[in-house]
Structure 1
Amino acid sequence: MSIEKQTVFLSGITGYIAQHITKQLLETGKFKVIGSVRSEEKATALAKNFDNNSDLSFVYVKDISDRAAFDESFKEHGAKIDYVIHSASPFHFNATDVNKDLIVPAEIGSAGIFKASVKYAPNLKHFVVTSSYAAVADLFKDNDPSFKLSEKSWNPMEFDEAVTNSLFGYCYAKKIAEKTIWNLGKELNVKFNISAVNPVYVFGPQCFDSSVTKELNTSCEIINQLVHAPVDAEIDETIKASYIDVRDVARAHIEPLLNSEKFNGQRLIMYADRFGKQSIVDVLNKIPQLKGKIAVGTPHKEDNIASELAVVDNSKTKELLGFEFKSLDKTVKDTALQILKFEGKL
């Protein structure tokens, strides 16, 4: 006897992380996916990549900063939606008006889809929001090894400081977007469960080889540039951050759907370890096709980079998820090999 598949509404389905979420959802054989897209062209391309899977369908949401952006889709499909994953989020640092371009849309986008879920999806069991490490971290203490972060931590930045530049604005906007979800959950006394997924820099291959382009998404572009760094290039030591593999992030969105009560009210900090550009170069130079052809820098200089930075304690997240995160070697190699394949160098 076949078990009826449950339906997941996934906003921003064409995104880097969202495509991996879709792939893993469909691979379970337990879910149907309704994904929001901004154009018919994007839907057609993604459907083709998924071999026109009958469990995958699309709705059109032009602008998530419109308060009613999701209403029509939820009016039409809400009765059959069991889960919502809200992954759609603008990501840029070129705002001319930080509040208008970054902060307000973040709040409106989160509130819009959440309120549509409450109003039109009576059978909803779990709402997962793709948040960010930016909602957790303190930008000014990340280089302080005596400072410790956990799933209970929140970015302490206030509005007046946030509007002074796009980076501050983006980090504050991620906090506001996530807090909007938690606050509305309490205000509206919702019956469904809620989780947040808070990734750091996300590396790893694109979901499909055909998605590789000359310039990649923000995180993976760091690896892409180093794959093409000339032998005599100096390695920039200013970036000292944290990484996680995109496939682990995708899985973290799906586990709450499989065990809703366990993940209710939880924030999942998706953090595997610290890295710098030298750390990445060290891995890239292990790849035969790149060894001797790209920059070397000072090998192993960043082997102990984590000891120089704030402590990220995500032991609660790891305990809840129960699987091991991919190593820097694995995620960087897989990313680089896909780039080389795209360029015909394998």
Structure 2
Amino acid sequence: MAKPTVFVSGATGFIAQHVVKGLLETKKYKVVGSVRNSEKATLMKAGFENNPDLSFVIVRDLAQIDAFDESFKQLGSEIKYVFHTASPVIFDITDFEKDLIVPATNGTKGIFQAAVKYAPNVKKFILTSSFSAVCSIAEENDSSLTLIEKSWNSQPLEEAMGNSVDAYGYSKTAAEKAAWDLHKKLDPKFSLTVINPAYVFGPQCFDSSVKEKLNASCQNINEIVHSNLGDPVKAQVKGSFIHISDLAKAQVSCIENHKLNGQRLILAKDRFSLQNVVDIINAKYPSLEGKITKGEPESAKQAIEGLAKVDNHVTKELLGFPLKTLTEAVQDTVDQILRVEAAQM
């Protein structure tokens, strides 16, 4: 019997690569990943040692509402599961609508509609949204709030357009709402599950991906590793976290865990502040202690106490496996960084 095909959009992204890895490791699926160009496909194919169950299609521009149509027409009835992870995560921009909001929303609408029109055998659609769709920065920092799976970022567009971080949150919120609205409106045969990860820490899928700059979440850890004694610690980096391996495991489990059908999940282990990360690195890596920032260790507790509470017990119960700690997430990130850099010396 032929292996069912899983379509993973934005396959070269930090999260998507781990999802692809998890799918391939089961040896149950063929994976088709969308990439922006053939060079990215070649590199990722090599990273997975030219696994015959992995292939790619080119989708160049998420902002085009029909960007996925050709690929879904081509693959047609082969596709059984869709993982939509593609969405811009960029902050050094000025045109928030063009670079964040339009590609995020059109990308989600486009792939959802393509699945309905051209892939009649899709059983499940798994959307990677973000904790930024659960709450705005202001709501995140309101200690009187308790955030649950039904919470939404309520920041209006006019306010969100003030800076790229808020605009990113709006883009993820708008894209996710579009998916739920389309699922209700089009009433497809497939189920929809939405995963909202917080800060995602952990190793890159390949050592070759360890560069001077990492993905947005892990870059915060990378900057601490390469900081100098006395450097300030970014007070604004605080919230919830998840280990990349737990996030990927949750994604892949959506295929066989039918309890996750129709669910909106918050993938987060605990609250943290960047000071907690600094404390862990100083405690666990004697070779770095005295060379990197110490920050203000006493500030961590106060920073967390100023945040909203997160109650995602529903998600944790549905997943049914324990989530890794901040220490594990930080160490797995730092271990890879130091290992790769030592090999380059």
Aligned residues of 2:241 and 2:270 also touching (Cα < 8 A): yes
Superposed displacement of residue 313, structure 1: 0.7
Match of 2:172 in 1: 174
Superposed displacement of residue 158, structure 1: 1.7
Match of 2:267 in 1: 270
Match of 1:248 in 2: 246
Distance 2:291 2:99 in 1: 42
Describe the SS at the equivalent of 2:140: coil
Describe the SS at the equivalent of 1:114: helix
Match of 2:77 in 1: 79
Describe the SS at the equivalent of 1:140: helix
Aligned residues of 1:287 and 1:333 also touching (Cα < 8 A): no
Distance 1:139 1:232 in 2: 27
Cα-to-partner distance string for 1:147-205 (whole Å, 9 max, x where unaligned): 11100011111222223332222111111101111111111111110000101111110
Match of 1:60 in 2: 58
How many pairs were matched up?
343
Aligned residues of 2:136 and 2:169 also touching (Cα < 8 A): no
Superposed displacement of residue 112, structure 1: 0.5
Aligned residue identity for 2:249: R
2:276 pairs with one of 275, 279, 292:
279
Superposed displacement of residue 210, structure 1: 1.0
Superposed displacement of residue 323, structure 1: 0.9
Describe the SS at the equivalent of 1:58: strand
Aligned residue identity for 1:265: G
Distance 1:301 1:163 in 2: 31
Aligned residue identity for 1:226: I
Cα-to-partner distance string for 1:196-227 (whole Å, 9 max, x where unaligned): 01011111100011111011111111101100
Match of 1:328 in 2: 326
Match of 2:103 in 1: 105
- Structure 1 residues 229 and 164, CA, compared in 2 at 3 Å: closer, same or farther? closer
Distance 2:288 2:299 in 1: 20
Residues 118-133 of structure 1: matches in 2 within 5 Å? 118-133=116-131
Match of 2:115 in 1: 117
Match of 2:228 in 1: 230
Match of 1:19 in 2: 17
Aligned residues of 2:38 and 2:58 also touching (Cα < 8 A): yes
Residues 191-206 of structure 1: matches in 2 within 5 Å? 191-206=189-204
Describe the SS at the equivalent of 1:85: strand
Distance 1:142 1:165 in 2: 16
Cα-to-partner distance string for 1:245-287 (whole Å, 9 max, x where unaligned): 1111111211111123x11211110111122221011111112
Distance 1:293 1:95 in 2: 33
Aligned residues of 1:274 and 1:305 also touching (Cα < 8 A): no
Structure 1 stretches lacking a partner, 5+ long: none
Distance 1:171 1:238 in 2: 15
Aligned residues of 1:279 and 1:300 also touching (Cα < 8 A): no
Decide which moves more: 221-230 or 287-296: 287-296
Superposed displacement of residue 297, structure 1: 2.8
Distance 1:126 1:330 in 2: 31
Structure 2 stretches lacking a partner, 5+ long: none
- Structure 1 residues 11 and 296, CA, compared in 2 at 3 Å: closer, same or farther? same
Aligned residues of 1:273 and 1:306 also touching (Cα < 8 A): no
Distance 1:208 1:125 in 2: 30
Aligned residues of 1:85 and 1:130 also touching (Cα < 8 A): yes
Describe the SS at the equivalent of 2:184: helix
Distance 2:303 2:317 in 1: 24
Aligned residues of 1:98 and 1:164 also touching (Cα < 8 A): no
Aligned residue identity for 1:277: L
List, as ranges, runs of 4+ consecutive aligned residues in structure 1 with deviation greater than 4 Å: none
Superposed displacement of residue 305, structure 1: 4.6
Superposed displacement of residue 301, structure 1: 4.0
- Structure 1 residues 45 and 321, CA, compared in 2 at 3 Å: closer, same or farther? same
Q: What is the identity percentage for the equivalent residue pairs of Structure 1 and Structure 2?
A: 52
Describe the SS at the equivalent of 2:125: strand
Superposed displacement of residue 300, structure 1: 5.4
Superposed displacement of residue 318, structure 1: 0.3
Aligned residue identity for 2:172: K
Superposed displacement of residue 309, structure 1: 1.2
Describe the SS at the equivalent of 2:342: coil
Q: What's the TM-score, normalizing by structure 2? A: 0.95
CA RMSD of aligned residues (A): 1.7
